[in-house]
Structures are given as C-alpha cells and as structure tokens.
Structure 1
Amino acid sequence: MVIVDLKEQAGIAMNARGQLSEPIADPQVTLGALAFANELGRLLWRMKYGQDVRRSGMHRATLLLAKRLREPGRFDRSKFTGVTRAAEKAAAKTGKKVERQISDIIERFARQAIIEWVADLCAACDGRGVTGRGKALAVERIGCPTCGGHGRVCVDEYSIPFAASRNGRGPMIFREYERCPQCHGAGNIVVEISAKGAGRQICGVCGGTGRQPEDHAARARALGVPMAQYRSHWEPYFHAVHALLDALDGAANDTVRRRMQRKRGQ
C-alpha cells in the first residue's frame, strides 16, 4: 500500500499500532522531517494524526497557543476578564490576590480550541457525513425537560415573611438559580427519537458535513463564563483560532514536504 498523504504517513510513523498494519517507506525519515516544523505545529500533528494526546503535550500546546494569543494586537485579555495590569498591581498593594481562575481564562480558551480542532470529526458518523448501511439512529434537538428550555434551574427557594409580594397576597418568594446540569445552560438537548431502516442516510448529528457540531454550552462551561458573555464576546474568537490552527497545520505540512523532498534528492 502506497501512502501519498503526508499527514496519514506521519500518523502511522508516530503510532506504534499503525506501524504493525500499515507499511510506509521509512518512519524515521518522516519523523525527522517533522522535527523541522514549528514546535506548536509538531504538537498538533502528534495529537491529531498520531493520536498522541498526552497531558504533557496538551499542556505544552496550550501554553504555546496562549502565548500567541497574548501577543499585542491579537487578544485583549482585560476586555473580557476585567483583570488589567493596574488592577493586579492595586490588588498586590492591598495584599489581595487576583482570582487565578479569571486570569487563566486565555489558557482555558486555548485548551478548548485545541481539543475541538484535534477531535473535529463527527463521532456519530466518524467523519463520513452519512450513517452506514443498517439501522441508523435518528436524533433531534428538543427543549430540555429538566429546565423547560430556560437553561436554569431553581436550587433553593424560601419566603421573606416581612416583605410582601407584588400582588400583596403573601410573603415575597426568593429563589436561587443555577445553570441546568442536563443542558449546561443551552436550554435544549439532543435525543434519539427512532431507528430508521437500512440504507445510507445523511448523518442527523452533523448534517452531512462530517464535522463535530459546535457545542456552545460546552465552550461556555470550559471557559467558566455565562452563556450570554460567551455569545457576545468569545464565540467569534473560536473561529479565528481554529483558522490559526489550520494555518499552523498547513505550515507543518509544507515543512515536512520540503524536508522529505530534499532527503529523497540526496
């Protein structure tokens, strides 16, 4: 079997299990060529094509991507977190510490973007866009039965006896709400509604694109921000960073191709 695609070839070279079943010319030549690529590009290739998603590699890739996002003109952290250098200095003078969870939001954003970019194939159809022959599961997005589509659930309720309600018919009722644990604040969930007959059908999860659908609730949860803040500020950044990762992927591909052509020419 002759492998033309460099990414597939690199994936087999990096994956010991793949080397047992897929022949390639020389795994060391491929890995040697990959060594000349940008460090972040190498890590992305190892995770996506070599299926090498170790914690150390993910952590390093997250830090490298976050460093790029912090470059002047790319990403204004204070605009979305409210944590400016002046605020950090003022907090230090008063003996207070800036909340680490807030200051690390760019790292959380970078990590989620990498996870989505690496695992971008639809899990329901394995990236084919269609469900195979046999029984295909049909799915539908419905309102969340837990929260009734509101995205929030009441976790506590008590009355204030000395405060009257608006209609004056009883004490004021105070309720505390949290993000719905079932839909994660989205207000809807994907459920299996039936099993259709044999034959190829368009995947009901990805709509035939073969790509994993965007899970906005999961993104907001990973960032630790409300859904409204994610929608207004963060959603466009995911598209921009995925384009950046695609560019790094292409640059690594060009580097590997040039190095392998030079090696063959020797």
Structure 2
Amino acid sequence: MIDLKEQAGVAMNVRGQFSDPIVDPKVTLGALAFANDLGRALVRMKAGQDTRPEIVRRATLLLAQMIRRSGKFNRGKFTGMDRATKRDQRAGREVERSNVDIVERFALRLIVEWIDDQCPRCDGRGVIGRAQAPQPVAVVCSSCNGTRRVCVSEERIPFAAGRNGPRVYREFSRCEACLGRGTQLVTPPKSEGRQICRSCGGDGRRAIDEAARAQALGVPLRMYREHWVESFQSMLAVLDQVDGRVVDTMRRKLRP
C-alpha cells in the first residue's frame, strides 16, 4: 500500500513509476487541493516528479515569501554583499548586483536539496546489497612500483669501475603491465551480504555539499559556515513540517 503523497503522484501521471492501484485519482487530487500552495508544489515536484521550470520557480517564490515573513531574513540584511561592497554602494560606486536577492537563491537551494535528498550510491536505502558491483580502484603497479618503466637489461662495466665498484649500465623500457601509467585498475572482490552504505552512513540521505551551498548563495565558503549552516538546518525542517501538514490535510479530506 503506497502512502498519500505517492497516490497523488500516481494521480498526476507525471513520469511516475508507481504501479500499485489507488483510489479515484480525482478524489486524491481533490484532497490535495485543500493543502496550501507551497505544500501542493512540493508534492507535485517530489511525488509527482514534476520539475518543470515554472513549478520550481513558483515554489521558490512561495518559500522565499515565507522566509521573509519569518522576520529572520529581511531583504536589507541578506543582500549577498559584504561590508566593503555596501560601503561602495553608499558612496555611489557601482557594485555587482548578481547576489542582490540572496533569499531567493537560498529558497531555491533548499528546494533542490529537499527534493533530491537520497544518497546516490544506495538510492536512499542506507545499505548496499550483493547485487551492486564493486567499483574498480587505482593501485600502484606491482611490476614497476609506480615508476612507469622496468629494467630490461643490466650490464656491469669492470673497466669503468669507480670507488664503489664496477659501473652498472641499465636499459629501461615502458612497463607493459600498466602501459606506462604507474597504476592499475583493480576490481575488489564482491562483498558478501548487505553492508551499510559508506557514503551516507546508513541514513539514506545525500551528503551535505557545503561548497555547492556557498556557490548557490553566491557567498564565500567562510561566510556560509559562519552565518548559513543553522539556517539551512532550520528551514529544511520547516519544509518537512509543510510536507507533513499536506499529508494531514489529505488524510482528513479522504476520511469517510
């Protein structure tokens, strides 16, 4: 039995891969219509797999409006400009305006992370099973020890002996085992049984990419770490609450 959001995804018939039977699609979508605008957009994107630009844009603007109304993110404070840039702006100099509305950038990044939150390695399961083939890894070539060449001949020259004995003449050629690369791709043996996914630690969620967050906001990584880490955590939790209220609303409207 699939949950209410997946039922809505089936009813929308937007690139869905669900096959379980559901109740009347019109009844399901009718119940979804009683949810708020942002909640409906989130369900449409995540469950219905409808990520058209206009849908994403509308959800971004709705979330940005919610963020501004919260009182924590006012337009004047979060402009994406540092103190030096603001000082130049007050002095009448031209400033870069690409980061003016950082609230919308923040909202868009939140929506992207909330929708695409599954670990790509284990597909959100948290474990890796027997069927998954191990990935090849590069190891130092055992024939040349990473030097990329091997000795093919060695001659001692007695008449050219020095203080340390006869001089040794060696001839080298490219290592054929690694084709001169110094490394070889080795496929580790397939593991037995299921194992916890190393990428997500077993929770099935995509790892946080701090550099991508800072780039999306248009701020230096240092500034993101100082001012934005807690904001991302709290607002992602808010999106979970909005999603939960959608399910509660649909359950009430579908109750006989």
Q: Deviations over 1:175-202 (max 9, x none)?
A: xxxxxxxxxxxxxxxxx99564242111
Match of residue 23 from structure 1? 21
Match of residue 154 from structure 1? none
**Residue pairs, 1:194-205, within 5 angstroms:** 196-205=190-199
Q: Deviations over 1:31-84 (max 9, x none)?
A: 111011100000000011111111001001001111111125232444443769
Match of residue 244 from structure 1? 238
Q: Deviations over 1:132-168 (max 9, x none)?
A: 213454799xxxxxxxxxxxxxxxxxxxxxxxxxxxx
Measure the CA separation in 1 of the matches of 2:57 and 2:32: 20
Number of residue-to-residue matches in the alignment: 205
Aligned equivalent of 1:118, options 115, 118, 141: 115
Aligned equivalent of 2:6, options 5, 8, 12: 8
Q: Which amino acid aligns with 2:232?
A: F
Aligned equivalent of 1:43, options 41, 44, 47: 41
Please state how far the C-alpha of 1:103 moved relative to its aligned partner: 1.4
Q: Which amino acid aligns with 1:110?
A: A
Contact 1:41 1:249 in 2 (8 A): yes
Identity %: 55
SS of 2:61's partner is helix
Match of residue 68 from structure 1? 66
Give TM-score scaled by structure 2 length: 0.70
Q: Which amino acid aligns with 1:204?
A: R
More helix by share: 1
Give TM-score scaled by structure 1 length: 0.68
Q: Deviations over 1:202-237 (max 9, x none)?
A: 111101110111111111111111110010011111
Contact 2:41 2:55 in 1 (8 A): yes
Q: Which runs of 5+ in 1 are unaligned?
A: 141-191
Measure the CA separation in 1 of the matches of 2:222 and 2:14: 45
Q: Which runs of 5+ in 2 are unaligned?
A: 138-185
Please state how far the C-alpha of 1:108 moved relative to its aligned partner: 0.7
Q: Which amino acid aligns with 2:40?
A: R
Match of residue 79 from structure 2? 81
Matched, 1:207 2:205: no
Measure the CA separation in 2 of the matches of 1:245 and 1:139: 38
**Residue pairs, 1:28-177, within 5 angstroms:** 28-71=26-69, 73-81=71-79, 99-137=96-134
**Distance 1:234-1:23 versus aligned 2 partners, 3 A rule:** same
**Residue pairs, 1:216-235, within 5 angstroms:** 216-235=210-229
Measure the CA separation in 2 of the matches of 1:194 and 1:78: 55
Measure the CA separation in 1 of the matches of 2:218 and 2:235: 18
Q: Which amino acid aligns with 2:206?
A: Q
SS of 1:101's partner is coil
Q: Which amino acid aligns with 2:19?
A: S
Q: Which amino acid aligns with 1:27?
A: P
**Distance 1:108-1:17 versus aligned 2 partners, 3 A rule:** closer
Over alpha carbons, which structure has the higher Rg? 2
